[in-house]
């Protein structure tokens, strides 16, 4: 708990798992469509997951998805750990805003609104629209290898900002969120968080980044993650302090965003290693929270693979997309919306009248058993 009164333990009480009982009903409805079991592959699992998340059968088609990109510069980029120059994340933001970035193209063609939230860009706020910069916590984050990336007060502000963004989207009727980042140095911060959470060495989680780096840059990045780990390990028991020490404002906000999305029962598709790192920290805060998220794609980053394995999450796609910016998650979005459409619109075959009565009786007994199972799961 921070001095400002943000009690992370509350998330453990506020977040419930998607309903096991509703999921079972969705699976039974799918069987009554007459299609062979597993004929739709993973789409069947996604449809049942969405039913449980929505709390209803049949599922409502996904009608109001939205992509949210958290932006920030990381001080550690100044020591040459990234394929991009330090302090240039604002250029990534401008490319998204003018429609030329991969994420912008994908979102436009999918008909998905795209929102950018500046938490710690290293530029004059006047250079970007006010709607982008109004949530900025600071200009750039500190160097995680030698200093805290945020003060305790800034960490709480960033975390609460992420929560507020999640609330705004839920209140606006958004029914599926796509999460991504626009950062320079963000994968280094993600590597520190994942290594700290998984208890592993820097070399195990150090990847080549969205812009593929050479061997010398990789070694500098590995050393920075090693040094960041030395600073992260003493504060592992306090996740907000951990994020302040090595996460930066953007990753801290993304963690708050993910947790509040779970509180508001709003499903989220994760993108690459940065969102996976935030999800891993959020899981440590509230173990039920990952049940509300999907891994959109495998980015090829070893840290992402480590984090997803720890959360028992299997990516929907593996196409070698490394560009970041939620591009991989946006590519996975049509798969999720297709699953929702099939689960919502495939008709059930009519049953004989006598059979219907027997089915209703069986459903009642099965619901009671599912309720008991769900209660046992919650208790454990």
Which residues are known to be catalytic? 325
Paired tokens of 127: 């250079």
> 190 Cβ partners below 8 Å, 6+ apart?
251, 273, 274, 276, 277, 278, 303
Instruction: Give the Cα separation of 50 and 30 in Å (integer).
Output: 13
Q: What are the residues facing 179 on neighbouring strands?
A: 68
The span from the CA of 337 to the CA of 345, in Å, is 12
Q: What residues are paired with 317 via a beta bridge?
A: 297
Bond into 58 cis (ω within 30): yes
Alpha-carbon distances, residue 97 vs 2, 69, 101, 113, 207 (angstroms): 35, 11, 8, 11, 28
Structure tokens at 357: 């009565």
Q: Measured between alpha carbons, how far is 319 from 339 in angstroms, rounded to an integer?
A: 20
């Amino acid at each position: 708990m921070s001095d400002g009164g943000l009690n992370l333990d509350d998330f453990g009480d506020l977040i419930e798992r998607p309903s096991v009982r509703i999921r079972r009903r969705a699976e039974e409805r799918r069987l009554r469509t007459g299609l062979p079991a597993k004929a739709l592959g993973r789409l069947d699992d996604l449809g049942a997951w969405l039913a449980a998340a929505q709390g209803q059968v049949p599922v409502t088609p996904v009608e109001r998805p939205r992509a949210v990109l958290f932006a920030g510069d990381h001080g550690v980029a100044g020591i040459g750990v990234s394929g991009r120059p330090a302090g240039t994340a604002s250029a990534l933001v401008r490319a998204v805003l003018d429609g030329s970035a991969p994420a912008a193209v994908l979102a436009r063609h999918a008909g998905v609104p795209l929102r950018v939230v500046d938490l710690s860009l290293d530029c004059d706020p006047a250079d970007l629209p006010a709607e982008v910069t109004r949530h900025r916590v600071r200009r750039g984050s500190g160097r995680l290898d030698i200093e805290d990336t945020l003060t305790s007060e800034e960490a709480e502000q960033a975390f609460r900002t992420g929560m507020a963004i999640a609330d705004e989207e839920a209140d606006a009727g958004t029914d599926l969120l796509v999460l991504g980042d626009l950062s320079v140095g963000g994968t280094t911060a993600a590597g520190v968080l994942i290594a700290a959470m998984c208890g592993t060495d820097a070399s195990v989680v150090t990847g080549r980044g969205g812009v593929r780096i050479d061997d010398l840059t990789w070694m500098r990045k590995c050393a920075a993650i090693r040094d960041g780990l030395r600073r992260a390990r003493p504060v592992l028991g306090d996740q907000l302090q951990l994020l302040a020490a090595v996460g930066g404002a953007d990753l801290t906000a993304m963690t708050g965003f993910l947790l509040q999305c779970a509180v508001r029962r709003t499903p989220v598709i994760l993108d690459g290693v940065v969102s996976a790192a935030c999800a891993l920290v959020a899981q440590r805060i509230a173990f039920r929270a990952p049940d509300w998220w999907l891994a959109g794609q495998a980015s090829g980053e070893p840290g992402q693979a480590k984090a997803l394995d720890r959360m028992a999450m299997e990516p929907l796609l593996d196409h070698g997309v490394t560009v970041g910016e939620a591009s991989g998650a946006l590519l996975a979005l049509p798969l999720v919306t297709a699953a929702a459409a099939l689960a919502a619109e495939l008709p059930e075959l009519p049953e004989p009248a006598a059979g219907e009565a027997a089915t209703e009786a069986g459903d009642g007994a099965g619901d009671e058993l599912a309720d008991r199972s769900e209660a046992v799961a919650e208790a454990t």
